[in-house]
Amino acid sequence: MSLGELQQLAMLAVVRLGSGAYGAAIQDELANVASRRVSVATVYVTLVRLEERGLVRSKEERPPDGRGGRARRVFELTPSGWDALGEARATAERIWRGVVQP
């Protein structure tokens, strides 16, 4: 199962953020760590597509008592998501083997 660059980065951001992996936090992680600036809408579209493929799952978390606002949709990788990331990493490592900069 192949993954695009943004899909891989989004999945890695989900892993890095753990229980705090919601849209705006993922967007910040992509900007700050991967130097990839995308809209929060693009983040959600990517995550929904990954969820449709069974690579991530989400749940809605209600705001803590005393904090107003909307519920957050928090994402986590599925076992299939971990497998897909592992395959993507292995593929990149194989293609880089033997590459020498002139």
Specify the pLDDT at position 67: 64
**Residue range 45-91, pLDDT digits in tens:** 999 999 999 999 999 988 766 666 778 899 999 999 999 999 999 99
Specify the pLDDT at position 33: 94
Query: In order of start, what are the domains of the chain with their CATH numbers?
Result: 5-85 (1.10.10.10)
Q: What is the DSSP secondary-structure string of 6-49?
A: HHHHHHHHHHHHGGG-BHHHHHHHHHHHH-----HHHHHHHHHH
pTM of this prediction?
0.88
